[in-house]
Every structure is written in C-alpha cells, then in structure tokens.
Structure 1
Amino acid sequence: MRTAFGETFDVPPGYLNTASVGVPSTSTARAVSEAVARWARGADAPPVFDEPVAVARAAFGRIVGAPAERVAIGATVSQLVALVAASLPEGARVLVAKGDFTSLTFPFAARGHTVTEVPLDDLPARAADHDLVAVSVVQSADGRLADLAALRAAGVPVLLDATQAAGWLPLELDWADWVVGTGYKWLLSPRGTAWLACSEAALARTAPLVANWYAGDDPWTTVYDLPLRLAADARRLDLSPVWHAHVGAAVALPWFASLDRAAVHAHTTGLADGLRAGLGLPPAGSAIVSLDVPPEPLLAAGVAASTRAGRVRLAFHLYSTRDDVDRVLRALA
C-alpha cells in the first residue's frame, strides 16, 4: 500500500504503466465496489447516478478549464471526437501529428476529411492552411508535449486530446475549441468515462448526433415520444452514462481538481527526469519516458510498463516513487 497526496493506493512496486491503465485510489475502488454491491442487492435506481455524473462532469471542467455547462459526457474519446468530425464541413482540412493516437485521428479520416500528418513540432507553422488542428496535448507513444502556446497563437480552430495530460500536467485550456479526455489512465477512474469540453462557439456548431434520452432538457421527462427536446447546454451531446464508471470518477476527479497542480507536476516529472538523468539522457519535462531498450530485463525486475511504437514506455504518476526509478536503473544496468 502506498500513500500519495492524501490518498492510498494498493499499487505494486514497479508499476509504471499508468499511461495504459491507471490504478484507482482505495477511496475510488471502494465507491465502485459499494455501488456494485448495491446493484447486486437491487438497492439502486437509475436517478441515483445523476449526482456522480454531475460531480465528475464539473470536476473535469475544473481540471481543463471549462464550466460544467460546456462539458459533455461520453464513454470513449473516439466517440466524442466523432461528433467534432461530423460537425466539420465536407472535405475539411484537418492537421494532425504524425504518430498521434488513432482514436483522435481515425474519426476524421473515416468521415472523409482531408487529414494531413506532419511532425509534432511542425503543427503551429502548418496550421494556417487547415480548418482544424487535432492533437494530443501529450503524445501517447513517447510523452512529447505539443506547443500549446504556438497553436493558440496560430488562430486556427483546435481540438486537444488531454487523455495523457490531465492528472499530471497543469492545464488551462479554456482557449481551445474542443478538449476531450478519458478517465481510465491518469485520472485513475474506471474505463467508460470520457468528456468533451467545448468553447461557446464550438458547442453551437457541434451536432448532437448521438441524441438520446439522457441528452434531453430533462432526462426523466424525455424518455418517450417526440418532439426532439434536447438540453440547451453541452448536455445535448451526452451519451447515456456508464453508471458505475461515473461513480468512480465522481470520487477521483474532484480529488485531482483539488490538488496543488505545481506539486503534482514537480513530483511526476521529477521522477521521470530523474530516470532520464540516471540513464544519461537530458530532461524532457514529461511524466512519460520512452526508451529504446529491450523489455525483458524490466519485466524480470517486476517493472510494469508497456511497449509503444517499438520502444518501452514508462509512466510516473502520483503513486510512483524514487524506488521505482531505482528499480528501472538496476534492471537496465
């Protein structure tokens, strides 16, 4: 058991795979377990879950810099990105980073838009020739950070995927047109939670293509019959929630939103850059470290990592410690 930032985690030593699957706090795990137990006893009714959905929605907004009324809920990043892709004019020119996660890029290609891949660092210079820039704030494969200041200055509509950033990187993304993110990685929530924050102008032009009862102006009176009567705010884009996933997110996300962001950033990047220094590499300022090393020595040493783009990917989060750094260094010595 480890303690970090006032929470406890039943995370094993050497667990450096948060970029794939985050480990919940004991508080989050307990909340989900108790909800499942109530389900098993027939003790819950659907309206019970409205509060955790609202709590998690508002907390995601605080984490990325958006009011709750401009945050929609979904189940996956790709499903929410697809709403943006479907709202662009036919044949829109979309600029993306080469090697970015396909849940961000595939929806635009599937819609038939003109999607251009360029190196991550070239995005700001190439943005002016496009209708939208879609990019991950932090690259999944290797942890590189997008130049957000330069993208903002480019003056082109932007969709940011904060999945690999929210939870360790301080974010103020109120300037972006759309910000999407999922909960099961760095936000340490169950899989089945995702959110889309929209600027006021972007919300007005995002089509509610998954319109359903939960996207209604009052979900408990829009269960049956026409006419269409959707919510006036971002809830019009909502997907019916994965109930127990939001129970966990309603514990995890407010906790994240309450933390000292500078302290979280210093802890996570300090460990990652400490590993880089031990390997003779320069600091990168990212919580993700990508190494061109064989994975077998790490696996034998009890290090949980992943392989992405042919390299070992290590992710340092709140529950990571200097012992994890040393374990990797010993394995690779």
Structure 2
Amino acid sequence: MDLAAARALFDPEPGWLNTASYGLPPSTAWDALQSALDEWRHGRVSWEGWGESTGRARAAFARLVGVAEADVTTGAQVSQLVGLLAASVPDGTVVLAPEEDFTSLLFPWLAQAHRGVEVRTAPAARLAAAVTPDVDVVAFSVVQSATGVIADVDGVLAAARSAGAVTVADATQAVGWLPIDAGRFDALVAGGYKWQLSPRGTAFLVTTAQLRSRVVPSQAGWWAGDDPHGSYYGPPLRLASDARRLDLSPAWFSWVGAAPALELLEAVTIEAVHDWNVGLANRFRAGLGLPTGDSAIVSVDVPDAARRLEAAGVRAAVRDGRLRVSFHLYSSEADVDAAVAALTRRG
C-alpha cells in the first residue's frame, strides 16, 4: 500500500501532534472494533473470533520487528511485561538504566529492592560508558519518551555484551515508525497504543529462548496453555513451549483493533512511515530555526508553548517542562505549519 492510500484511512481533527501520548486508529481498525462491539452488545457470536485477533496481531508485530512469532508474548502493558522479567532475576541482581527513563521500565526493577536487586542509573547519553563488569541487566528505551532522543543502541549493546549483561529494551516510542531488529536484544517490550495505532491494553514482549527459560510464568492462565482450549480446568501445569507461555489472557476488543492497525503499518512499510514522520519533524524543526534531527518526536523549549498551541487548535504535550510534538502517518504539513505559526507569532 502506498503512503497516500494509507493516510486516507485516518480521520484526525486537524492539529493532532501527540502520538507519543496515544496514536489514532485507521478506519480498518476502527471498523473492526465497532463490528466486534456490536456483536458483543447483541450476543450474536461466541468469543473465539475476537481471541484470534491476538494471533494476527502477534504475527504482524513479529514481522515488523524481524523475529519469529514463537518469540513474541502478548500482554497488556509495558510494566506488566517488564515485571515478569524483573520478578525472575536472582536476588542481588544489578540493573543499570537511564536516570530519565519512563517509570514503566524502571519501577518493576525498583520494586525488587526487598530481595537485594540494585538499580543504578546514569544519563541516557552516557549509559554505555556506565556499564561495569558487575552489571547483570541493562534496561533502556530505544527512544526516550520525553525528548525523542534515539539511544546509542550499538554502543549500549556492545558494552552489555562485554560485561555479560542481559539487555532489555523498551521500544514503545519506536516500533511503528523506527525500523527495529528486536533480535538484537535479549528482551524487547513495546506498548501498542502509541505508534502502533492500537487500542490501549495491547503490548508485546520479545525474548530469546535462553532468557525465556529463566522467566517464571507467574501470570499464566489458560491462554498460556499449550492448547488453550484444553487448559480450562485443573492441573497439571501444561504451558506452551514458546513465548505464549508468558501470555496474558487478552482483552479481546483491544486486540480486535490492534490486528488491522499493525497489518496496515506492515503494508505501508516502516521505512516509508519513518521517512514521512521524520520529514514532518524536520519541517517543524526548520520552522523554528533548529537543525535537522533523526526522530519523529521533537522536544523544544518555547515560552508559553502550551497556551500558544491550544489557542491555534494544536494538541501536543509538555514533558519534563518542555513542549513535545510528535508526528505520524496522519500528521500533515498543514499541522506542522499551524504549530510553527503559533509558536513563532509575536504577541
């Protein structure tokens, strides 16, 4: 599918520049969700068809990040999935993370302090240099939430390998616009409701088989069974042999919307989405006299920015005291120009 055809599937109010907070659905996802909700309202069908959307979404996500379906776990939130990893590390594990990272990545590790898990932090820009031989886990965001800065993935991975540390990457602000090879990390987690254009309540965890063998499936239920429909009742424990063993039973309707959204991104290609998004971000940067960048998220310090944009009908966010704007498939040059005009207008 070409970019123009994909963009025609969205119906945003002009001025939405806040995908880093939540993404908007294409009509394919919206229509599928409305149809399922109508089925639920009237009790027309059994639930199995809604559940099958989870498999479609898993398959599409796996293709987007270049891994096998067997390595992808589905869940509800980033913190829930990181929590599985954090609860499974040995007592006394040393974790290194960026000091400014989003708390859904940090809190699950910090919550293990009672058993001696130590969390050290360093500025994201100097994370690789902070990896010492006693670090066991390096957890970091591929793209920082507040600033849009893309991590030095190569440097961090090289430092972690040298120390023998496990790498855990949060790609929530990356998957959907930035090409990602999830196979480079021991674990990669991503929430679906931002750049993946999916309903909230969808998230993915990619793990290597070696790491997965050490993760306790503490939230396992029937859906994590080798045969989910044969796992409704009674012992023994009979979990899937692949990443499904860590699955959380799906919130059906969130996944009904997620599957077509992910399939659209795949059809357009992440490379095409990346070029469009970063092109708009650089148009915005140029309008403010800033140098070009490499991210779909731009963080700037402009006096009274929130009020100025609100008056112009532009919706963005303020994070860490700075304006944050973010651009995706449905963003337009007119949106960019409206934001620039509002921020540069005198008075």
Q: What is the TM-score when the length of structure 1 is the normalising length? A: 0.97
Give 1:289's match in structure 2, choosing from 287, 298, 303: 298
For 1:13-92, what aligned pairs fall within 5 Å after superposition?
A: 13-92=14-93
Gaps of 5+ in 2: none
Give 2:339's match in structure 1, choosing from 325, 328, 331: 328
TM-aligned CA deviation for residue 123 of structure 1: 1.2
Q: For 1:284 and 1:6, locate their aligned partners in 2 and report how far apart those are by CA, in whole Å.
A: 23
For 1:114-263, what aligned pairs fall within 5 Å after superposition?
A: 114-129=118-133, 130-154=135-159, 155=161, 156-263=165-272
Gaps of 5+ in 1: none
TM-aligned CA deviation for residue 4 of structure 1: 5.5
TM-aligned CA deviation for residue 7 of structure 1: 4.5
SS in 2 for 1:115: strand
Q: Partner residue of 2:328?
A: 317
SS in 2 for 1:185: coil
Structure 2 CA distance for partners of 1:178 and 1:272, relative to 1, 3 Å: same
Q: Is the 8 A contact 1:71 1:197 kept in 2?
A: yes
TM-aligned CA deviation for residue 127 of structure 1: 2.0
Give 1:302's match in structure 2, choosing from 313, 320, 324: 313
Q: Partner residue of 1:108?
A: 109
Higher mean displacement: 234-243 or 118-127:
118-127
Q: Deviations over 1:227-262 (max 9, x none)?
A: 111111111101000100000111111221232332
Q: For 2:8 and 2:225, locate their aligned partners in 1 and report how far apart those are by CA, in whole Å.
A: 36
Q: CA RMSD in A?
A: 1.4
SS in 2 for 1:5: helix
TM-aligned CA deviation for residue 6 of structure 1: 5.5
Q: Is the 8 A contact 2:75 2:202 kept in 1?
A: yes
TM-aligned CA deviation for residue 98 of structure 1: 1.5
Q: Partner residue of 1:264?
A: 273
SS in 1 for 2:228: coil
Q: Is the 8 A contact 2:225 2:245 kept in 1?
A: yes
Q: Is the 8 A contact 2:7 2:329 kept in 1?
A: no
Q: What is the TM-score when the length of structure 2 is the normalising length? A: 0.93
Q: For 1:325 and 1:181, locate their aligned partners in 2 and report how far apart those are by CA, in whole Å.
A: 27
TM-aligned CA deviation for residue 328 of structure 1: 0.9
SS in 2 for 1:51: helix
TM-aligned CA deviation for residue 3 of structure 1: 5.5
SS in 2 for 1:313: strand
Task: Give identity over the alignment, percent.
Answer: 48
